Amino acid sequence: MEQEKIIAKAGEIINAKTDYIGGGMEGYATLALIDENGYPTASTLTIAKADGIKWLTFNTSLSRDSVKRIKKCNRASVCVNSSEFNITLVGTIEILTDLKTRKDNWFSVMEHQWSGVDDPEYCVLRFNTERYSLFVGYEELKGNL
């Protein structure tokens, strides 16, 4: 499989996992950050939106440990995997609180967690890929965006 096809397939896999409807583990990715002691720490979050492997967003609360970690170090890694593929992305992550971004990433199923897009605790994390390691269709590919 040629490079463009592997990247496109990885993007299709991620884009297919950006649905809050239906729940389950299918829409999740592992987000790895550096903690306050300089060690890697990983957590599982639901992917809100994505543009293939270029960027992914996650919804969270400003008071979460992950937000505190991002404020100290914005380097991050995201992994989406199954027994058939492994998509590992490395890059930077930012905390977004502007109303347009919050509206664009809002799903009605989140009302149990926040009062709405105006909830002062609600924020969006946007991960931006700089490099990737893909195992898709039994093919491997590493590179930079």
pTM: 0.92
pLDDT of residue 21: 52
Neighbours of 62 (CB within 10 A): 14
Say if residue 100 is exposed, middle or buried (CB neighbours under 10 Å; 0-12, 13-18, 19+).
exposed
Measured distance CA(78)–CA(60) in Å, rounded: 16
DSSP class of residue 86 equals E
The Cα diameter of the chain in Å comes to 46
Specify whether the CB–CB gap between 76 and 131 falls below 8 A: no
pLDDT of residue 20: 60
Q: In Å, how far are 56, 86, 109, 136, 137 from 83, measured between CA atoms?
A: 22, 8, 28, 10, 11
| Torsion over CA: 20, 23, 27, 33 (sign) | positive
Superfamily of domain 3-139, CATH level 4:
Electron Transport, Fmn-binding Protein; Chain A (2.30.110.10)
Q: Please tell me the chain's helix, strand, coil percentages from 3-state DSSP, rounded to the nearest 5.
A: 25, 45, 30
pLDDT of residue 19: 63
Residue spans of the chain under pLDDT 50? 24-25
Per-residue pLDDT tens digits for 117-135: 999 999 999 999 999 999 9
pLDDT of residue 24: 46
Per-residue pLDDT tens digits for 37-60: 999 999 999 899 999 999 999 999
